[in-house]
């Protein structure tokens, strides 16, 4: 029995991996904007792989506000929660609350059922840049990275890469440092995140969602980090709308 169980895991995992070595979109970070974007593109028949450094996908949603597992959403973003069958209730003044555990698990489940391959405990340590376009990611196991082991990575090629790594904006940072590219921000480089201002932060999250360089897109808080937007805390409507916006942009790009 034991060997059959092990064989089943190994066989089916590598079948799955083999099918996603070349994708339409590689998303780094399984936070809310990345999961929303992934599901939207997968529903359009695109091959999408997410690479999440942590064991549990979901990004910053799980903790709600200071570990109070509720988040706030504006009314204009509720249709996205409806798409994932996630429940919510009115909090007055055009604001709604939702259970953060339901939101995180609902987004993960929705993306997976749409056909997205979610790779957890996998870190992206580099990007692939060819002829003026970002066209892949270099991946390794997170434990390998954290233990500082000298283990060579593997590569997943993609038509586009989405930086959904949140506040650090790690993929944009990698691309600018290692590929030496100039990105589409007011300064041509990463501007850094401004302090907390919830109302403006929500708006700038969507506004700053864009293509920074051919093949390189940014969403969520990584978008604010790149273009100097405000932080917004445990209100997530902007994150959901950022994911939906970037999915549309990428779809138009890769469909030509």
Distance CA 236, CA 256 (A): 31
| CA–CA separation, 145 and 196 (whole Å) | 31
Rounded to whole angstroms, the Cα distance separating 164 from 231 reads 15
Phi-psi region of 29 (alpha: psi -120 to 50; beta: other; left: phi over 0): left
Length of the chain: 256
| Rounded Cα distance, 232 and 242, in Å | 14
Asked if residue 52 belongs to a known ligand binding site, the reply is yes
Closest CA to 241 of 227, 216, 223: 223
**CA–CA separation, 179 and 245 (whole Å):** 26
Q: Is 167 labelled as part of a ligand binding site?
A: yes
Rg (CA), the chain: 18
Is 79 annotated as ligand-binding? no
> Does the annotation list 152 as a binding residue?
yes
Residue 139, marked binder: no
The reply to whether 231 sits in an annotated binding site is yes
Token pair 């270099």 is found at 138
Asked if 214 and 10 touch (Cβ cutoff 8 Å), the reply is no
Binding site for glycine, by residue number, is 231
Binding site, by residue number, is 33, 52-53, 60, 124, 150-152, 167, 221, 231
Binding site for NAD(+), by residue number, is 33, 52-53, 60, 124, 150-152, 221
Binding site for Fe cation, by residue number, is 152, 167
């Amino acid at each position: 029995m034991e060997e059959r169980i092990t064989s089943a895991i190994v066989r089916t995992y590598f079948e799955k991996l083999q099918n996603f070595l070349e994708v339409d979109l590689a998303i780094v970070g399984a936070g809310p904007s990345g999961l929303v974007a992934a599901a939207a593109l997968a529903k359009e028949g695109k091959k999408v792989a997410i690479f999440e450094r942590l064991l549990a996908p979901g990004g910053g949603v799980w903790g709600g506000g200071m570990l109070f597992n509720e988040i706030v959403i504006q009314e204009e973003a509720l249709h996205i929660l409806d798409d994932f069958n996630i429940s919510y209730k009115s909090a007055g003044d055009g604001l709604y609350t939702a259970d953060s555990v339901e939101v995180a698990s609902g987004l993960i489940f929705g993306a997976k059922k749409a056909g997205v391959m979610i790779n957890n405990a996998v870190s992206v340590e580099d990007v692939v840049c060819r002829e003026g376009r970002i066209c892949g990611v270099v991946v390794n196991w997170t434990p390998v990275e954290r233990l500082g082991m000298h283990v060579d990575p593997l590569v997943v090629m993609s038509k586009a890469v989405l930086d959904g790594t949140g506040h650090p904006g790690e993929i944009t940072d990698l691309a600018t440092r290692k590929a030496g590219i100039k990105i589409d921000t007011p300064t041509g480089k990463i501007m850094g995140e401004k302090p907390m201002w919830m109302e403006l932060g929500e708006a700038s999250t969507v506004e700053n969602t864009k293509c920074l360089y051919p093949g390189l897109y940014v969403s969520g808080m990584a978008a604010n980090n790149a273009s100097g937007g405000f932080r917004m805390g445990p209100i997530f409507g902007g994150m959901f709308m950022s994911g939906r916006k970037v999915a549309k942009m990428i779809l138009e790009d890769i469909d030509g």
